[in-house]
Amino acid sequence: MGQAECPPGAADFLWGPDEMRWRRAFPGRPDQVAAARGFARALFAGAACLDVVELAVSELAANALRHTRSRLDGGWFGIELVYDDPAYVAVIDNGGAGVPVVSEPLDEWAESGRGLWALSLVAVKLGVEGTPHAGHRVWIELALDESS
């Protein structure tokens, strides 16, 4: 009779070759930006890119609430996180009047308009998918082992 295979250990399960992916939806309220950031912080604890992941979640979630229908009654935003190299952070919104655009700020004294541009400076890649009608997925890829 052959030897039975042993099941993998917990570390093999947790840190195996497959990417780790999480999704979560949050009510479209300002207090939920902090909740989303806390969720990401827990999942990326110990990663060099933790601060940048938190920044990305904060900026993208705040943008969803500021610029889309996510902030309306019954609205929501979602986050998708992948613990891999590169790390992946996406925020999904409910759409709105415009399309998120990365542009260099023209007015250095403006109170807004720098978020996506700043994220683009630390990103491996940054992208926008979707439509104003169906909603958008704004995503960023970050080097897992680099802090910025």
Q: Is 51 exposed, middle or buried (0-12, 13-18, 19+ CB in 10 A)?
A: middle
Q: Domain 20-142 in CATH: superfamily?
A: Histidine kinase-like ATPase, C-terminal domain (3.30.565.10)
31-61 pLDDT per residue, tens: 999 999 999 999 999 999 999 999 999 999 9
- The label of the residue with tokens 């990326």 reads 44
Percent of the chain with pLDDT over 90: 68
Extents of the domains making up the chain:
20-142
Prediction pTM value: 0.84
d(CA 1, CA 77): 55
